[in-house]
A and B are shown apart, each in its own frame.
Chain A
Amino acid sequence: MVTRTAPWRLAALGAAAFLSMVTALAAGTTPPLPLRVLIGLLMTLILPGFSVLAAAAPRLRLKVPQLALACVAVSICCDLLCGLAVGGTAIGLTATSVALGLSMVTALAASIAAIRQARASADVGAGPHLVATQSTPSTPVSDLYEGLRTGWRVVLSICTAAAVCTIVGGSLLLSQHAAVAARGPAYLALGTRALSPPAVAVTVTSHERRSVAIRVAVLDGKIVVGTWTRIHLRPGQTWTARVKLPSPATFEIVHTSLYIGSSTIPVAGTAVRIG
């Protein structure tokens, strides 16, 4: 039986690959909210599943409602596995890493799907371009549609190019992301100093722009006093916290620590004698 790929499926594959490439290139930027919502929903709930289905089961012909169901469900699975891959490793689950991961999955799957569709068409000797043309009046829209019907090689090229760009670019960016995460928390504590009345001043600077919660805790075996704050540090910006100690202070050695998320950062000069 000759299986042909509907032109709209080929066009959708090309569009998925192209959009994933755009998403990967725009990862880390903040586009206007409506555009971000539209692309975000497409990239999380529809396109990964569509591409993966087309790559994994190219001969499967589902009706539109069934295809929609499968696209959404498989997209959710892709989100989950992608999230596990970045969130369970040093890379971390951020907007950038998720966008890159999903883009890579979508572009790669779209590329595989296009290759498999092309092979299947070559095998049966009847690609989409051989579908009989209806004798309808020529309009710009119909010309474009006919172009898509006859242009599966163009779609294949787009998909492959998008996959290569996304995967190479995404891999580089993700590895950079992982390298930054692996070299430890991106904050450098400059030091602490004792104050009178009993208190500790902690100064922190960042070499990466990031919004986080920072905890400054004064330790004496266990947390004696601490303070939390949410800050947005720009590269090179300095942040200072002043932590009051209970009075009268009954301890001599105070350890100060910074906590970013679940990580603990040792602070330079943690031993402070309270006078």
Chain B
Amino acid sequence: MQKAEALLSSLGDQGDDPIAVAGGPRGSSEKQLVSPSGGQLLWTAAVCLSSSVGLGLVAIADAASRQGDGKLSFLFWLGLLGIFVPTAHRSLSGSCGRSERLLLALMLGSAMYLVKVAAAPTGFSFIDEFIHLRTLQDILRTHHLFTFNPLLAASSVYPGLETVTSAIADMTGLSPFVAGLLLVGVARLVFTASFFYVAEQVTGSSRAAAGATLVYASNPMFLFWSAYFSYENLALPLAAFVVWWIATTRRQPGRGPLLVGAVGVVAVTVTHHVAGFALAAVLVAWWVAERIVRGTQPAVRRLGWMAALSLVVPIGWMATIARPAIAYLWSENIYPGISQTVALVQGHLAARTLYSSAGSAAPLWERLAGFGGVAILLLLLPIGVYYAWTKHSSRPALLVAAGVAALYPLSLIPRLAPDGVAISGRSSEYLYAGLGCILGMVAAMASGPAARQHQTRWLRWLFRLVPGKRRSGLAVTAVLTVVFLGGVTVGTPYNKLLPEPANPVGYPSAVQPDVFAAAAWARTNLGPGRTFATDALDAPVLGSFGEQNPISENLAFPIFFSSTMSQAVVHDIRSAGVDYIFVDTRMSLGTPINPSYYFSPYEPGGSHHAHPLPSSYWAKFGATSCTSLVYFAGPLRIYDVTAIADGLCVPAIRAG
């Protein structure tokens, strides 16, 4: 074991700072923290410059894409490489100091956040952002929490993100968009720093922590999804902070540190459901591992108290305040995903075609990068888990990380089921934390000289396959780059990486500017809170910018999918209490690509529309005297159907 500890400590070279599992610094890197050498500053400046150039290239690619020029899309990938590759190479280098590695990790995290900002610099533009914007607007308008959100009921009962954004907007006078952008950006920094420190405490090496950060940055959701104005993107950083705080302070005397940890647990709970339960799972697993290894030391007891609190608070919140989230999580996400995955495993369901949407497929190299990245992770995972297992008696936290990482292969199976993509994709944000720690350790070993003297024969043989001293860093960087590129291609459909041009040919896959104008018109002229039936793409904009109440997508499609005002259509309008029909006639110009349905995955034709919808589907609304066209601009129409909904007027019923 002493040999193992010595080897672990030798992972970092001159700049490394081994850290005890839950204590303070064991080595001393204060000198580096205070006065980095000129060479280090030069490297940091060079990496910073490279990241800036990379961001510039991404911004150029975004601008070209908005103009409809797809030829410059290669600049996007070039920019991402400019951000990732120098950072990876430098932070795994033996001459890189601890504080420099932390700085590089923060630069990587913030640069990748700015990639998302460059894609939508003037306003929220992603579906989830509209959902949370609605909750934020409700808070700013009513000054109270828990107002029902028709776009996602769970959002209003987990109002942490919107509450803090509202506080920042109120205190600073900034717009909700800028306040939200600022908060998520700060949260990204909090997450990156917390994760780096946690990984450093778990692995005992700042080089391994840098590797862990690089692997985590390769998770499919990190580039775009984790940068959205969405509740999980505040909860996850706070959860990472709570873990770091407990690890750092559980040996401190007094109740003050425990109180701060408890406040953090409550904050995570109030912000996001899954993050709250994930934090509880990690703390309980960590406590169990510590209890087995270290017995009943006071620090372990303190950890136990925090674990118990983190378990009780989310359950209590969900049982009392956040009941709508139970149906959302179980009925709409977990159960369909699990049942389809089971059907897939049993052979009752055909596997989804990966990298394909509505008949079009991603470029070959993107598919290769995706499969290659996953293959590398699956290949290296057993090595990392084996390595962690040999250390388990002294590092319980490492054992927990290995346990989390070992779930990664299982998380890939639901990805093959149509309804399992969400579970598989979103679980990566949690599983990559463990995976990052384990593979970060492997990356640090492979890029350092210690690997060649490993006491395990087969590991020693494996690491000697990596070319010589200087080139080993390049080889590890190359492998991590493939994993990173693969993660980006897995997490975001190829046609969503760059902004869509205004007025695209066919049915758009992003909300068009004229829809924002129509939503603003509806808010001003119809007043907020009117019930609308519309398509899945435009509903979030009507619900947020227009402050209207779109009906459920599964209630909306029966109203549209008929060429005549049949009895069923009239019944659906009345039963849903629809006031207005919002029609985007672009539905007759092309088939939907992403999402691959117009209203709902359960609509006729489902996710495999071969032809656009016929215009007769909305012509029927103008053919009856019971409706009135109140808005008409280009392809957009708003029909007033309140007379039908109120029963004041009955249209001539025709067979559907």
Contact = CB atoms under 8 A, between A and B. Distances in A.
B173 A261 contact: no
A213 B267 CA distance: 30
A33 B175 CA distance: 12
Interface stretch (B122-130, B138-146, B214-222, B378-386): B138-146
A40 interface: yes
Instruction: Name B's interface SS.
Output: helix
A9 B274 CA distance: 37
A20 to B, nearest CB: 12
A28 B166 CA distance: 16
A84 B167 contact: no
A274 interface: no
B319 interface: no
Contacts of B190: 69, 72-73, 76
Contacts of B264: 73-74, 77
A262 B142 contact: yes
A60 B168 contact: no
B142 A79 contact: no
A87 B263 contact: no
Interface stretch (A49-57, A158-166, A199-207): A49-57
Nearest to A89: B144
A40 B172 contact: yes
B357 interface: no
Most chain A Cβ neighbours within 10 Å, of B256, B259, B528: B256
Interface residues of B, number: 62
Nearest to B193: A69
B260 interface: yes
B646 A224 contact: yes
Given A59-B253, A213-B141, A93 B170 contact: yes
Interface in B234-265: 234, 237-238, 241, 244-245, 248-249, 252-254, 256-257, 259-260, 263-264
Interface in B549-593: 577
Contact of A33 (B173, B256, B271): B173
A94 B170 contact: yes
A60 B24 CA distance: 11
A93 B187 CA distance: 22
A65 B105 CA distance: 13
Interface in A63-112: 63, 65-66, 69-70, 72-74, 76-84, 87-88, 92-95, 98-99, 102
Contact of B173 (A40, A58, A60, A263): A40
B157 to A, nearest CB: 11
Q: Which 5 A-B pairs have the closest CB atoms?
A: A228-B527, A40-B172, A56-B256, A261-B142, A83-B163
Given A65-B193, A84-B270, A92-B143, 18 more contacts: A36-B171, A40-B168, A44-B167, A52-B260, A65-B99, A72-B186, A73-B190, A73-B264, A74-B260, A76-B190, A79-B164, A82-B167, A83-B163, A94-B143, A213-B141, A224-B646, A246-B643, A261-B144
11 contacts: A65-B102, A69-B190, A76-B186, A77-B263, A79-B168, A80-B270, A83-B166, A92-B144, A93-B139, A93-B143, A228-B528
